[in-house]
A and B are shown apart, each in its own frame.
Chain A
Amino acid sequence: MAGAKTASAGLSPVDGSVQLNPVWFEFEDGFFWLNSNTGRLWPKNLQRDRELTMLLVDPKTPDRYAQIKGRLVSLIPDPTAEFIGRLAHRYTGKPFRELEPGEHRVTFKIQPVSVTGQMI
């Protein structure tokens, strides 16, 4: 999983509807680490529900996938955009864009609770 370098779909339901978003992640020390702008919808839902489902798909072999249910363990402010910068390097090989005025980044520490799928 640490090697999986695929955009995964993070998710939180809103009013019972299903919201799917691509997210960047890192898997380290047994946890998933995500990062977002606090103004977006999915981090708000995640903070409310404290749980989410993620799907990791191998882009070259879509039959290889894992569905992970996770629980939000903690929320870590990323004021200097250090962690999102690291994710940007992992995914794009480049630094992250300049933060927009008033943009606040936050890192989510997610504990995997269950894993299902075709690659386990």
Chain B
Amino acid sequence: MPLQLSPKMQAFTQEVFPAIIGTNRKDGSVEIVPVWFEQKDGSFWINGGTNRGWFKHLERDPRITLLLIDPKEMFRWAQVEGRMVNWAEDAGGDHINELSHRYLKKDYQGPRTGRIKIQIEPLRVTGAIDGRR
């Protein structure tokens, strides 16, 4: 069952900074990269391409962890463990454009084709924001 985010987490996830995502490689090591994200209706949404290493990992093992850190205040952080529940073509690049507006306040400048949006359901939140470790 998806986790319902606390009011503090709801607010924290509206702040604008990249999420650091971790996915499982086949060899048991972990891939970590920063990505744009948004949280809407309790789910986390990220955007990418089917050729990304981390997406290939998710197709094999849907578990994904997002680390959210306020870049100005490193003690404000949260770890969200979740799983990919859905992905779909980002037709016309509408979703990446939405993210671009969230992060850069302007239209997305890169190619809008061949992109996908990924829905992540949170299962567990730890870290400083919710006062739990």
Contacts and interface: CB of A to CB of B under 8 A. Distances in A.
Secondary structure at the A interface, as helix, strand, loop or mixed, is strand
Given A53-B30, A54-B32, A55-B32, A20 B63 contact: no
A51 B23 CA distance: 15
B131 to A, nearest CB: 16
Given A57-B20, A65-B34, A18 B72 contact: no
B28 interface: yes
A72 interface: no
Contacts of B22: 9, 11, 18-20, 53
B18 A17 contact: no
Contacts of B18: 57, 62
Interface in A39-66: 40, 51-55, 57, 59-60, 62, 65
B3 interface: no
Contact of A18 (B33, B34, B63, B71): B63
B125 interface: no
Contacts of B64: 18
Contacts, number: 76
A59 B69 CA distance: 10
Instruction: Identify whether the interface residues of B are mostly helix, strand, loop, or mixed.
Output: strand
B79 interface: yes
Per CB-CB distance, the 6 closest pairs between chain A and chain B, nearest first, are A59-B71, A20-B67, A18-B22, A18-B65, A55-B32, A7-B74
Interface of B: 17-18, 20, 22-24, 28-34, 61, 63-67, 69, 71-72, 74, 77, 79, 81, 133
Interface of A: 7, 9, 11-13, 16-22, 40, 51-55, 57, 59-60, 62, 65, 67, 69, 91
28 contacts: A9-B22, A9-B32, A9-B69, A11-B22, A13-B28, A18-B24, A18-B63, A19-B65, A20-B20, A20-B65, A20-B67, A21-B79, A22-B67, A22-B74, A40-B133, A53-B30, A53-B31, A54-B32, A55-B33, A57-B20, A57-B34, A59-B71, A59-B72, A62-B17, A65-B33, A67-B31, A67-B33, A91-B74
Given A55-B33, A59-B72, 14 more contacts: A7-B74, A9-B20, A9-B69, A13-B28, A18-B23, A18-B24, A18-B63, A18-B81, A20-B65, A20-B66, A20-B79, A53-B31, A57-B18, A65-B33
